[in-house]
Amino acid sequence: MASLSTNITAFQLRSGKAWFAVVLVSAMGLAGYQQLFSTFAPYDDEGYVMLSLASYRDGKPLYDETSTQYGPALFALQSAFHTVTGLPISHDVTRLRTLSAWLLIAALAGALVYRLTGHFWLASASSGVAFLHLDRFCL
């Protein structure tokens, strides 16, 4: 009987941690969504990059007919994303794609810390810190 009680407690502990992770990612997602869709950074080049991507997708070569300061990998990856998903090049899609990458990177940072240390709470804190520090890159 003692082992059954221990197993239930271990299951409850894992379940509680899973719910905490879901709440943490949801909170980061809401905060990121609010920030991406309600603020404007004066250095923002979102529209410029979107126009350059549309030009690239129209078949105009980079640096010759499509003016850009970014490398070809960015345009190849973004073009592939829009081709595969069929989504238009728009501010909403661009910002949601940015939010997805932002959350994924923060989650991967937490997963890496968990893999290295085995401490759930340290990994959760690391994920939150990574999310907060990435906010300047995601705007």
Block mean pLDDT (10 aa), the chain, length 139:
58 80 94 92 86 95 91 94 96 94 96 96 96 81
Q: Is residue 13 part of a domain?
A: no
Two tokens, residue 102: 């932002």
Query: 65: helix, coil or strand?
Result: coil
Q: Is residue 22 part of a domain?
A: yes
HSE of 71, CA atoms in CB hemisphere, 13 A: 2
Give how many domains the chain has, as a whole number: 1
Measured CA distances, 54 to 5, 39, 75, 118 (Å) = 60, 24, 10, 45
Q: Is residue 9 part of a domain?
A: no
Q: Which residue(s) pair with 66 in the sheet?
A: 62
Q: What is the pTM of this model?
A: 0.82
HSE of 110, CA atoms in CB hemisphere, 13 A: 23
